[in-house]
Structure 1
Amino acid sequence: MTVAAVWQHRFVRLALGILGAQILFWGTLFLIGETEKEHLNMKSWEVGEIYVHPLPGLDPDFGARDEAHRQTFPVEPGDCYRGYHSPAYQISFDVKGDEYVNWALYLPWVSDNFETYVNGRLIATPRGQFSLTPSREERRPFLIGIPRDLMEPGTNRVDLVVTRSGCVPYVQTVYFGPLEPFKAYESHMVLLGHYVPIITAVAGGLVALVALCLLPISGYSPLFASLAAFMAALALRAFAYVWAGNGIEFTTFFMVVYLIHYLCLATAAYFIQAWTGQPRHHTRWFAAIFAVFAAVFAAVWWPGGEVYALVTQVLNPVSLLLVSGYTIWSLWRMAPSRPGEAGRAIVLMSLFLSSELYDALIPIFGVRRFIDAAYYLPIVLIAAVAGHLAVRGYRLYRDLAVQVAEKEVEIRASYARLQEQENLNAIHTERQRLIRDMHDGIGGQLVSLMLQLKGKAVPQERVHQQVQAAVDDLRLIIDSMDSVGDSLDIALAIFRDRMQPRLKAAGIRFVFENRLDGEVQGFRPQEILHIYRILQEGMTNILKYAGAKTVRLEIEAGDDAETIRLRLSDDGVGFDVEARPETEGGRGLNHMHKRARTLGGELTVTAAPGLGTVLTLTVKRP
């Protein structure tokens, strides 16, 4: 089998991915935890042989040391249970130094209150109090400078008296050396032990907040609900690492921390169930299981039972196996449909398993902890989830952009087809309109003239008038067709040019005034023709009946911004509007009103004998 063929095998790539992730994760943690220590040569300052024994009170015993109490760091906590008051323990060791160097003791991990003695003299009570019921502040490193006058040439004796509520005091290690290097290392450890969990808590809280904001948008998707719960639990877990409460017994704090830990595991199972699409009742099962764990924990803790061994040797391994097994099973079932996502999740799950195994095995086998993986794994999980959401969001955006582009092409094509169809419909409608207008207008006039000529002799003047009316009507139809795309004032200017020769021949002065601020566009040809015919009918009545000297055509804005007013007036003889006879002129006014209503406008006629006539057409802007 070739190398390429081996690489194509899914399990080979998965194994290499897991191996690479483990090397990267643990290598980075080792560099973070050990590089600064090696740089400052901290290993050479570490205290080796120590003597540990309980005290009857708080006062140290500076007598001879018992070889039976000799051991090395760390000093393990032993049994822990509520209400237990451990005796104070004395940790004694020798260091070598002189009075010419600023010496110091560095305690990277010490439980609760302690006192420090050098050559039998008290030099430090860090929190200003010391009793058998101390406060809980165990995750803070302490740097204790030793006054020069206390140091003697050669061997010096150092004694630590430590107390703890609920457990035997726990001391990981002690360093003795020059003060200045320890200051740099203390800053490094404060950064890792204090600010990294804060960053984790803030990052988890932000991701949870984003998921909550997306929850209504997603239609209250279980995936976003589970993600918000999981990230919030991780943020709470990170916050617990830097929280210190005065007066809280260690076993109580221990219980709270591990209840939060079980909450993280339960929400992790919830997130896996929602992400992989497993049945929802699986989440209820895990909620019930971890509720039982919490009840067992509380039942043992409350009457003062041993909780440390219960948690580290029973509940933690069982919960780890349950969540890990369920995650692997769910990812295995998801793999056929979503192999890429399942592979990446298994690689991430391997980091979780190795981190949890590391933290679980430390107390069981007493292995020395070089770094607390629980500080950093949530950052990796949060970063991985945020990265997955970002990649998924980008892919959704990319797919959406492609779909939008495709739909845009379809819409453009549909719009082009629709526009083409509308053009065809417009041509057909215009053709039908022209046929109807020519039939009703020119056709009717010519047929009427033809019938009159067949019956009897018709005066030449009447023949001339009817032929002129037919010609004018034809010109109006042509002008309305030519006005497509033009503004209304241009269409009226064309009408003025058509009518002015006839008025001039009749000795009538024609005045045209446009009072609009700008052009008014959008009237269809049929609407322009209706306006033409209303004005033409008015002009015909003026020529036939008014005996006017001057005719005015005015266009202006209406009473509101939505209307336009056209006014045709003359200074002729006028007439009584109320007593209007049913003559040809009266029928013409009725036709004018009908055309105005067809336009959606209004036509008013103002006239009086001897005062001329005013036609006012008000129409809406297109």
Structure 2
Amino acid sequence: MAANLPRDPGVMISTASLSAKADTAPESGTLAMWVDRAKAGLVLLAVAALFWGALYIGENAVRPAGMSPPPSLQYVPVDHQGQIAANAGRFEATYFNDPIYRSTIEEGGSRVAFQIPFSVGKNDSDLAFFLGATPGLQEIKLNGSVIQPNIPLDTLRGASDGTALYYMLPSTLLRDGANEIQVLVETQSTILALAPFHIGPAVEAARAAANVDLITSTIPIIAISFLIFATLLCMVTNWPSDDRQRIRSLMLLMGIWAARTYFITFQTPFELPFLLTSFLYYLLEVSVIVAFARHLFSGETHSAKWFKWLNWLWLALLVYLIAITAAGFAWGPALRPWFKGLAIWNAAMLFILAVVGLGLLAWGIVVRRDGRWLERLALMISLLALFIDTGDGSFDLALPFVANLPLTFYAAAPAGLLLGLGVVASIAREASEARRTVVQSNEILAAKLTEQNAELARSYDAQKQMLQRQVMLEERQRIVRDMHDGIGGQLLGLMMQVRSGGVEKKQVEEGLQSSIADLRLIVDSMDTADENLAETLRSFEHRVRAQVEAAGMVFEAHHGLDESTPGPGPRPTLQILRILQEAVTNAMRHSCATAISLSSSHDADGQIQISIADNGKGLPTKIKGGRGLTSMRSRAEAVRGTLNIISGAEGTTLKLSLPRPE
């Protein structure tokens, strides 16, 4: 390899340096990869700490201070009128980390009253009974007196089936010492359940109930709104072809997430059987897991292959779910445990999805520089919340290091707000970046266009000047030819006449004067060709004034042209000067005038008017029809002008009209 390297010292590389680079490149690449992995791990830890911290604050907020549920609770069966039979037996419901007091209907029936004993001291005042979300809550009594009538209270009959409530305990119904609260509950399933409760200061109960409503109702409403808004925003945005698959999978995820949040949180249009409620719940759980997986793999290689397998998995789980639901309706509660198996299966899928998905998202935040870090952060928190919700449904989870603080609300519902906000923020950032790119592109294009316009203007001016010089040069060449053919021929003829002796002295003098005058006209036209017409007329005035005054006449000039009137060019200027010179010469020779005047002006139409006038006796007949006037009119037509002669006893005026200058 060294033999093939160039020998120029400016570009030669030593084999030692090549070997050093070859040795250090893999090491530096490996080190950078491990640094990125460490950063991704730190991102995972930070997100987990943020999520568990928020969950810890939320779980403490939805509990009154000092809340400590007893390990078990007694309940008794009641009839449809809510009365306890005289010989009814007492049963016991054990407290589980759901958290809930749970028993089965085989023991007490589907309608029971949970009995909660408590004691009141003399200094206790403003007490309230706080009760968590309890499925089928109907009536509450204090010492046998109703404080909550026997009407359905599950106004949020979603999958969570109820919300936390608190009830003031009237002091008139309280006794010093032992008291009892009875909670009437009716169930649709095989499970009898009562949520954790607390009896204490009303202020604490009201605060906890308000926080429960905020987390389980208000925030989910906002979350659903943001998810719908983000989905619509994705729909109306014109995405590049490379992003469309990712955006479609993101829209699917947000749509299913919004439906799951609504179903868990809010009342369905009509009351559903337990099996159908379970079917819809697990359908949404399976769908959101598959949709999340589809979105995670949408930006990866071989995404079409992943989509195919995920779609088949989705279909298989749907068929399984329909089958066990139909079997449950056909054969009763015997097949309901299959739903528990489906919950464990969901938890297992979510565990795999969380491990892979959180790693991919954290790696994307660290490595990929596409500006979607906020969207990925929201997806990480949402995935954690979904995993915790599903795991809690199967294994009754509690917060890490806080065993007495079990999870009570669906974390994925408020996490949907972060998902919607993250997507909206990501779209806003992409739109802002696109707008910035467009603005920068427009500025660059505008600068280039200005530069090109300036270059074109410079080129146009240069070409215009070159064309003007070329035209002027051609005009001057034609004038030179005129001088050669006209003055040269005239002088040559005069010289031949002098040599032959057939010409008088006066004729020689007149011929020479005519040639000199024509030569002066040519010189004037060439000298003033680059100037304006007013300057040309002033030069003409200066030259002919001496001739007129030498002949004993008065010469007057009135210039009315402004300095911006351009000159017509060398050859037209020569034609104009010849016309004016001929007019002055005729006036000097034939008019017997005492004064000659030159005037110039613009008429109402913008045309140029140039006049030569005298106060003589008028034109003789031989002049009116002579070759001189015919030649003058031909010259006027050559410059696109007209010649008008007015002659009478008071003198003669020659008017030359020229077109408006361009």
Whether TM exceeds 0.5 here: the answer is yes
Answer yes or no: is 1:381 the counterpart of 2:389: no
Q: What residue is the counterpart of 2:490 in the other structure?
A: 452
C-alpha distance in 2 between matches for 1:54 and 1:606: 130
Q: Is the 8 A contact 2:324 2:338 kept in 1?
A: no
Give the counterpart of 1:142 among 145, 165, 183.
165
User: 1:360 is matched with which residue: 390, 397, 417?
Assistant: 390
Aligned to 1:463: 515
- Equivalent in 196, 204, 220 of residue 227 of structure 2: 204
Partner of 2:128: 104
- Report whether the alignment pairs 1:271 with 2:295: yes
- Residue 61 of structure 1 aligns with which residue? 84
1:409: how far off? 8.2
Aligned-partner residue type, residue 34 of structure 1: N
Q: How does 1:454-603 map to 2 (within 5 A)?
A: 454-457=492-495, 459-479=511-531, 491=532, 493-495=534-536, 497-501=538-542, 507=555, 509-512=557-560, 528-530=566-568, 537-538=575-576, 540-544=578-582, 551-554=599-602, 565-568=606-609, 570=611, 583-593=630-640
Query: Following the alignment from structure 1 to structure 2, what is the Cα–Cα distance between the partners of residues 151 and 332?
Result: 56
Unaligned 5+ runs, structure 1: 81-85, 480-490, 559-564, 575-579, 594-603
Displacement of 1:585: 3.5
Shift of residue 403, structure 1, vs aligned partner = 7.3
Any conservation in 2 of the 1:89–1:161 contact (CA below 8 Å)?
A: yes
Query: Which deviations, in whole Å up to 9, do the C-alpha atoms of 1:280-312 show, x marking residues without a partner?
Result: 464355345434434443444356446685275
Structure 1 CA distance for aligned equivalents of residues 327 and 171 of structure 2: 49
* CA distance 1:582–1:275, shift in 2 (3 Å): farther
Pick closer, same or farther for the CA change 1:449–1:170 going to 2, 3 Å: farther
**Deviation of the 1:337 alpha carbon:** 8.4
In 2 relative to 1, CA 304–494 (structure 1 residues): closer, same or farther, beyond 3 Å? farther
Q: Of 59, 68, 75, which aligns to 1:33? A: 59
Please state whether the residue corresponding to 1:283 is helix, strand or coil.
helix
Change (3 A) 1:138 1:58: farther
What displacement does 1:341 show?
8.3
What is the Cα deviation at residue 109 of structure 1? 0.8
> Which letter does structure 1 place at the counterpart of 2:144?
G
Please list the CA deviations of residues 195-220 of structure 1 after superposition, one character each: whole Å capped at 9, or x if unmatched. Answer: 21122223333333433343267798
Whether contact under 8 Å (2:127, 2:201) holds in the other structure is yes
Tell me whether 609-618 or 265-274 shows the greater mean CA deviation.
609-618
**Over residues 115-160 of structure 1, what are the superposed CA-to-partner deviations in whole Å (9 max), with x where a residue is unaligned?**
111222222138x4589x9966834322222222221121212111
The CA deviation string for residues 96-131 of structure 1, in whole angstroms up to 9 with x for no partner, is 2268623221223122441111222222138x4589
Q: Select the residue among 611, 615, 619 that pairs with 2:657.
A: 615
- Could you report, residue by residue, the CA deviation over 1:223-279 in whole angstroms, capped at 9, with x for unpaired residues? 444444444444444444443235322644554455444444444344334433544
Q: Which residue of 1 aligns with 2:272?
A: 249
- Identity, % of aligned positions: 13
What SS does structure 2 have at the residue aligned with 1:478?
Answer: coil
* CA displacement at 1:402 relative to structure 2: 7.7
User: Partner of 1:601 in structure 2?
Assistant: none
Q: Quote the Cα distance in structure 2 between the aligned partners of 1:219 and 1:13.
A: 28
- Please tell me whether Structure 1 or Structure 2 has the larger radius of gyration of its CA atoms: 2
Q: Does 1:283 align with 2:313?
A: no
8 Å Cα contact 2:371-2:429 kept in structure 1: no
The alpha-carbon deviation at position 437 of structure 1 amounts to 3.0
- CA deviations on 1:553-603 (whole Å, 9 max, x unpaired) are 2177x7xxxxxx4332548799xxxxx99954454344324xxxxxxxxxx
Relative to structure 1, the CA distance from residue 91 to residue 428 in structure 2 (aligned partners, 3 Å threshold; closer, same or farther) is: same
Q: Which moved more, 1:286-295 or 1:198-207?
A: 286-295
Contact 1:331 1:346 in 2 (8 A): yes
Are the counterparts in 2 of residues 47 and 176 from structure 1 also a CA contact under 8 Å? no
Shift of 1:325: 7.5
Instruction: Summarize the alignment of residues 155-166 of structure 1 with structure 2, pairs less than 5 Å apart.
Output: 155-165=178-188
Which amino acid in the other structure matches residue 519 of structure 2?
V
Q: Are the structure 2 counterparts of residues 336 and 193 from structure 1 closer, same or farther at C-alpha, using a change threshold of 3 Å?
A: closer
The 2-side partners of 1:327 and 1:134 are apart by: 32
Partner of residue 245, structure 2 = 222
CA contact 1:355–1:377 (8 Å) conserved in 2: yes
**Structure-2 separation of matches of 1:192 and 1:53:** 33
The amino acid that maps onto 1:146 is: L
What is the Cα deviation at residue 30 of structure 1? 0.7
Q: Whole-Å Cα distance in 1 between the matches of residues 429 and 291 of structure 2? A: 23
Deviates more, 1:203-212 or 1:398-407: 398-407
One-letter code of the match for 2:516?
Answer: H
1:259 to 1:11, Cα distance in 2 relative to 1, 3 A: same
Alpha-carbon distance change, 541 to 418 in structure 1, aligned in 2, over 3 angstroms: closer
Q: 1:193 aligns with which of 198, 208, 216?
A: 216
Aligned position for 1:22: 48
Residues 550, 303 of structure 1: CA spacing in aligned structure 2 closer, same or farther, 3 A cutoff? farther
The answer for unaligned runs of 5 or more in structure 2 is: 1-26, 330-334, 398-405, 496-507, 549-554, 588-595, 620-626, 648-652
Q: Which residue of 2 aligns with 1:439?
A: 477
Preserved CA contact (<8 Å) 1:362 1:369:
yes
Within 5 Å, which residues of 2 pair with 1:228-377? 228-249=251-272, 251=274, 252-276=276-300, 278-280=302-304, 282-283=306-307, 285-302=309-326, 304-305=328-329, 310=339, 313=343, 316-317=346-347, 320=350, 327=357, 338=368, 351-367=381-397, 368-377=406-415
* SS, match of residue 487 in structure 2: helix
Q: For residues 219 and 41 of structure 1, do their structure 2 counterparts lie closer, same or farther at Cα, with a shift above 3 Å needed?
A: closer
CA distance in 2, matches of 1:422, 1:379: 62
Contact 2:529 2:573 in 1 (8 A): no
Distance 1:343 1:180 in 2: 41
Decide whether the 8 Å contact of 1:92 with 1:158 is kept in 2: yes
Distance 2:533 2:292 in 1: 78
**What is the aligned counterpart of 2:142 among 118, 125, 133?**
118
Taking the aligned partners of 2:544 and 2:218, their CA distance within structure 1 comes to: 96
Deviates more, 1:611-620 or 1:266-275: 611-620
Q: Helix, strand or coil for the counterpart of 2:45?
A: helix
Report if the CA contact (8 A) 1:98-1:151 is conserved: no
In structure 1, distance between residues paired with 2:293 and 2:62: 37
Inter-CA distance 536–470: structure 2 relative to 1 (3 Å threshold): closer
Residues in 1 aligned to 2:243 and 2:40: alpha-carbon distance in whole angstroms: 33
- Asked if the contact 1:331/1:342 (under 8 Å) is kept, the reply is no
String of CA shifts for 1:444-485, please: whole Å, max 9, x gaps: 335532232123256134213311221222123332xxxxxx
For residue 607 of structure 2, give the secondary structure of its aligned residue in structure 1: strand
Q: Distance in 2 between matches of 1:31 and 1:167?
A: 33
User: What SS does structure 2 have at the residue aligned with 1:57?
Assistant: coil
Name the SS of the counterpart of 1:138 in structure 2. coil
Could you tell me how far apart the structure 1 residues matched to 2:47 and 2:268 are? Answer: 37
- Asked if the contact 2:136/2:153 (under 8 Å) is kept, the reply is no
Aligned-pair distance for 1:88?
2.0
